[in-house]
Amino acid sequence: MNGEKLEEATCFKFLGATLSKNGASTAEVRSRIAIAMARLSRLWTSSSISFPSSSTSSTSPM
């Protein structure tokens, strides 16, 4: 470009997504899963959220 040689990249970030030279999205999918798991892990271990136990949520016939 204008007499300068451009560097060829194997992958790069564009608008928050990782784009690869060959079009594969494996790295992007792995990255998004890791982010989601980290956020879910914080939610699951949060002490400010409580979930009903299975014994209190079911009713037994008398």
pLDDT tens digits, one per residue of 36-54:
999 998 888 877 777 677 7
Instruction: Give the pLDDT band of residue 33 (cuts 50, 70, 90).
Output: very high
Q: What is the pLDDT of residue 2?
A: 80
Instruction: Give the pLDDT band of residue 17 (cuts 50, 70, 90).
Output: confident
Q: What is the pLDDT of residue 37?
A: 93
Q: What is the pLDDT of residue 38?
A: 92
Q: How do beta strands 17-20 and 11-14 pair?
A: antiparallel
Tell me the C-alpha to C-alpha distance, in Å, between residue 41 and each of 2, 7, 26, 31, 51: 50, 39, 22, 15, 15
